[in-house]
């Protein structure tokens, strides 16, 4: 029988004020320790340890799947730039923080058993709707609307899924003596789920499943998880679950019915092949909304884009007659490799193209000859350079882009030094650049190339190079082609070949390049803010 708190009921001789020794285990200060208030027998948890682990692991993995796939969905409209990556990662982290905070507060105010299934069902509906909403906003060509749609489709499901962990944690906490163990274990399981979601999406899903299939499939999986949780906890009315199921199915069907605008979703791009109505055999390869290559499948000597003709003009002006050994950084439609193999019989070489899906399109849709004398390697351009022997090629063509930007690691002194290493004495480096007023990136890249090659020329349209009325060094921008070599390059010889090919471009040489480059920064592996130097830029018609 417990002693009463009423002093009148206390037995004689048990008055603490009289110096009675406290009972064993009592706190002489009168204050209870945490251990003293913990129940001697913990109340059974509402969900098992394994069920809690599966819920936290799956929800955390789903957040990262949504984040990575969102990058794929936004690339055709915003480009695959550092800014796009930063935007998506920032929104995903915002969702995780907001969902965790809100979920923790909600878990203390409502019964988590009644909230888990609706959270999963609502997140499933939101995930299934993501491709539909992003593509609708992109079709309307409204930048602000696209950003709002992106925020909604990333933040809403991310926050709902992130609220699962604090809800499950509350259900597992039955004793204060296990708080650290349970919180730490579930935190670790959530992190493991995020890792698995990232790895599986990047290495498996994106390379094998269309973006629409990934998002709709994830939405269905979350809906099934909601059903399982509802059955397990018996805490949700069937009509609510049916409503969530109907919403997910309707939005998923709308997503599937909405055309993605892609002939193929490759590892890196939304790719389409567009026929030229003016030329029966002409095809344009469009990657993420940008015209990357034009190929006449019946006539490899037809060169449509001005920058391609300018590189061909440079080869005519400076390469010795006969066959060449060529290394191409970036493949696209392989327009120049086809041209060089036809125009200079015996020419051979290698191509580094990072996207296997683009190579597949070349073979299946752009009639790539099976006997093209080029070793096409699916690899990163910088990594591919390491496999090329010293002084083993006559011509290196740089034509690699991520969106409108040359990948930063191909633009640095160290990368250009590798290009110099593989070129034979007197060899030629020709690189295609894109920039916009005031040409900060182009000028920095030319300054960087000049640290590795003593002889450099730059060509572009006169408006692209002309200084602005305000006295800036840059012009309107567009495509620019830069030539570099260890031997002198005759600007007039290139200019004549440009004219012969109908390219109305101007060639800059020293000392005009000195004035044009000015104090542009050098790009190194330690400092190469390529995306920042390019922005702000308009949506280009092509590269």
Q: How far is CA 30 from CA 18, 21, 124, 215, 535, in A?
A: 16, 13, 52, 58, 67
**Sheet arrangement for strand 506-508:** 374-378, 348-353, 325-329, 393-398, 423-436, 477-485, 455-460, 506-508
Please report the domains of the chain, with CATH numbers, ordered by start residue: 49-257 (1.20.1250), 270-534 (3.40.50.150)
* Dihedral sign, Cα of residue 415, residue 416, residue 421, residue 427: positive
Beta carbons within 10 angstroms of residue 201's beta carbon: 22
What is the Cα–Cα distance from 289 to 293, expressed in whole angstroms?
A: 12
| pLDDT for residue 189 | 96
pLDDT higher than threshold 60 for residue 16: no
What is the Cα–Cα distance from 78 to 440, expressed in whole angstroms?
A: 20
pLDDT higher than threshold 70 for residue 469: no
The percentage of residues in the chain with a pLDDT greater than 90, rounded to a whole number, is 56
DSSP per residue over 230-264, as a string? HHHHT-S-HHHHHHHHHHHHHHHHHHHHS--S-SE
Residues present in the chain in total: 543
The band of 276, judged by pLDDT with boundaries at 50, 70 and 90, is very high
What is the Cα–Cα distance from 13 to 125, expressed in whole angstroms?
A: 70
| pLDDT one-digit tens code per residue, 470-487 | 344 555 678 999 999 999
pTM of the model: 0.76
């Amino acid at each position: 029988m417990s002693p009463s708190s009423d002093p009148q009921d206390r037995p004689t001789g048990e008055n603490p004020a009289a110096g009675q020794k406290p009972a064993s285990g009592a706190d002489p200060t009168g204050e209870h320790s945490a251990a003293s208030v913990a129940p001697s027998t913990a109340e059974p948890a509402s969900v098992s340890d394994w069920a809690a682990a599966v819920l936290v692991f799956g929800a955390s993995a789903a957040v990262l799947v949504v984040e990575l796939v969102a990058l794929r969905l936004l690339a055709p409209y915003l480009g695959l730039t550092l800014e796009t990556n930063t935007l998506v990662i920032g929104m995903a982290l915002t969702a995780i923080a907001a969902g965790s905070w809100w979920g923790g507060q909600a878990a203390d105010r409502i019964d988590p058993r009644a909230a888990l299934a609706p959270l999963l069902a609502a997140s499933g509906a939101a995930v299934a709707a993501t491709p539909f909403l992003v593509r609708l906003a992109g079709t309307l060509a409204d930048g602000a609307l696209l950003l709002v749609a992106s925020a909604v489709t990333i933040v809403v499901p991310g926050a709902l899924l992130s609220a699962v962990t604090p809800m499950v944690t509350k259900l597992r906490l039955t004793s204060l003596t296990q708080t650290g163990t349970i919180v730490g274990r579930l935190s670790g399981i959530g992190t493991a789920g995020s890792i698995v979601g990232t790895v599986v999406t990047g290495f498996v899903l994106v390379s094998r499943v269309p973006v629409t299939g990934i998002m709709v499939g994830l939405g269905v999986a979350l809906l099934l998880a909601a059903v399982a949780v509802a059955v397990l906890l018996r805490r949700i009315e069937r009509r609510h679950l049916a409503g969530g199921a109907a919403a997910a199915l309707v939005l998923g069907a709308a997503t599937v019915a909405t055309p993605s605008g892609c002939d193929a979703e490759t590892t890196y791009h939304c790719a389409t092949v567009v026929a030229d109505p003016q030329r029966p055999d002409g095809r344009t390869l469009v990657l993420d909304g940008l015209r990357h290559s034009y190929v006449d499948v019946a006539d490899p000597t037809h060169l449509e884009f001005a920058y391609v003709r300018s590189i061909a003009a440079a080869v005519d002006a400076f390469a010795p007659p006969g066959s060449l050994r060529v290394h191409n950084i970036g493949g696209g439609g392989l327009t120049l490799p086809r041209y060089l193999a036809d125009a200079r019989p015996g020419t051979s070489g290698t191509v580094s193209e990072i996207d296997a899906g683009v190579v597949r399109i070349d073979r299946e849709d752009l009639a790539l000859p099976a006997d093209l004398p080029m070793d096409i390697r699916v690899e990163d351009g910088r990594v591919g350079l390491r496999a090329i022997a010293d002084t083993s090629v006559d011509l290196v063509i740089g034509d690699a882009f991520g969106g409108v930007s040359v990948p930063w690691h191909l633009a640095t002194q160290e990368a250009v030094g590798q290009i110099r290493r593989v070129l034979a004495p007197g060899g030629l480096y020709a690189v295609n650049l894109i920039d916009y007023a005031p040409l900060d990136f182009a000028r920095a890249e030319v300054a960087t190339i000049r640290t590795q090659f003593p002889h450099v020329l730059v060509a572009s349209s006169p408006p692209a190079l002309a200084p602005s009325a305000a006295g800036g060094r840059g012009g309107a921008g567009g495509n620019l082609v830069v030539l570099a070599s260890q031997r002198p390059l005759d600007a007039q010889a290139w200019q004549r070949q440009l004219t012969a090919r109908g390219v109305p471009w101007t060639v800059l040489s020293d000392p005009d390049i000195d004035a044009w480059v000015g104090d542009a920064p050098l790009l190194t592996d330690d400092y190469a803010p390529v995306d920042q130097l390019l922005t702000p830029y308009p949506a280009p018609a092509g590269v």
